[in-house]
Amino acid sequence: MSFPARSDHVEDPKEAAPKTPAVLLLTELFPPDVGGSPVLFEAIYSRLRDTAVVVLADNKGAARPVAVPRDAAGLTVVRRPLATTRWGVRDPKALFNHVRVALETRKLARRLGSRREVIVHCGRALPEGVAAWISRRFGGPAYVCWAHGEDIATALQSREFTWLMKRVYRNAAANIANSHSTRRMLEAIGMPPGRIHVIHPGVDVQRFRPQTDADLRARFAGDGRLLLLSVGRLQRRKGHDLAIEAVSRLGASVPVSYLIVGDGAERAHLEGLVARHRLHDRVHFVGEVPARDLPRYYAACDIFLLPNRIDGGDVEGFGIVFLEAAATGRPTIGGRSGGVPEAVLDGETGRLVSGTDADELADVIRDLASSPKKRHTMGAAGRDRVCRSFTWERAAARVSEVHAAIASRDRISS
């Protein structure tokens, strides 16, 4: 196995600063897995400059082809069996799995360098952070832990998981929250504000840009209908069911087609709703689409919507899809919960709704449908905002700052 080399060039060897520590990203979720977290990890860690990055990822689906962008050329991805549903430590099999991953993490860290030359970045507190915490307790490298919102909400459903999560975050050199909403969740479980860094996800503004896909429009809205789009896993908190209910309330007065891109546990329930409201000609389940084709769907739509809500503690931590739609110049409709109000500026780049009222959502769709000028203005504002504040390059630079600060603090204290 060959690891990417670090740059050793300095102008004055006598005053040479220590090398930037390597990053060992520990994550079950990495492309070809789909979803916001895999996209975030590849996009950010492929853009860390002058830093060696090794990704320890799960080996499921590793045989499938992966489209690696040019920016990811410096990543070394090591595949090992990481995925587990056993997140606790009371179960001997679960504890054994955490120890096994901790040993694998330490082994890779040693290959990269000595203790202070490597910092582990954990995709989540559970389960990846538990392995990093165990490794750290027995002399392993310092670690950083990401928090996404829904992962905290899930852990809080179990006393054991809550106990573990708190210890993972508490012993991390730093914690990265994907939104201010997630930061508040970390503070609520006792994490010091000074140890939390908010780094919003980003979007590739070259891939997602204002354009039109005539082929998809002809296929799904060839009769001049307004085209609505949702992209995301089919789970209750995303609000696909509310969107279907809203479409049924629009009736013939607002002719729309609704495309649902993604798959998940809620599909059968959603298909039942479509059948109940007799919307087979208006609601279309596309399923998962290849990442390379995703920009086409945004380009084809008129309005992007995902009226998310909190469902039994499950919350939308941010919502990269809102940025992707905005980058394409489309107005967005999101739920007024979690980190979504940070992704969608109500009244400027889109609209926020309760996520529980189908009539309210139908009224918002009707309002945007009646005003092409409003849709254009919001779409243009969204594109401008994303290009200024939500690029992957900006997010990667912030992660680099956190990484360097930890390295500097570790050297000073050593």
pTM above 0.85, yes or no: yes
Determine what percent of the chain is predicted with pLDDT higher than 70: 90
For residue 300, is pLDDT > 80?
yes
Q: Is the pLDDT of residue 412 over 50?
A: no
> Among 229, 179, 219, which Cα is nearest to 199's?
179
Compute the average pLDDT of residues 282-301.
96
Q: What is the mean pLDDT of the chain?
A: 90
User: Domain residue spans in the chain?
Assistant: 13-202+391-413, 214-389
- The pLDDT score that the predictor gives to residue 215 is 95
Q: Mean pLDDT over residues 305-318, rounded? A: 92
pLDDT-wise least confident of 50-54, 70-74, 136-140: 70-74
> Confidence band (pLDDT; 50, 70, 90) for 410?
low
Query: Quick check: 134 pLDDT over 70?
Result: yes
pLDDT of residue 8: 33
Segment 394-406 mean pLDDT: 96
Topology classification of domain 13-202+391-413: Rossmann fold (3.40.50)
Instruction: Please give the share of the chain, as a percent, with pLDDT higher than 90.
Output: 79
Task: At 285, list the tokens.
Answer: 């389940």
For residue range 320-368, list pLDDT tens digits in order: 999 999 999 999 999 999 999 999 999 999 999 999 999 999 999 999 9
66 pLDDT tier (thresholds 50, 70, 90): very low
Distance CA 233, CA 260 (A): 10
Q: Work out whether the CA dihedral 361, 365, 370, 374 comes out positive or negative.
A: positive
User: Do 13-202+391-413 and 214-389 agree at the fold level?
Assistant: yes
CATH class of 214-389: alpha beta
Would you place residue 2 in the very low, low, confident or very high pLDDT band (cuts 50, 70, 90)? very low
- Tell me what pLDDT residue 273 has: 98
Please, what is the end-to-end C-alpha distance for the chain in angstroms? 30
Q: What's residue 114's pLDDT?
A: 58
Query: Looking at residue 59, what is its pLDDT?
Result: 86
For residues 123-145, give the mean pLDDT: 96
Closest CA to 232 of 186, 285, 184, 278: 285
Average pLDDT, integer, range 127-131: 96
* pLDDT reading at 297 higher than 90: yes
* Cβ(406)–Cβ(400) below 8 Å: no
Residue 3 has pLDDT above 80, yes or no: no
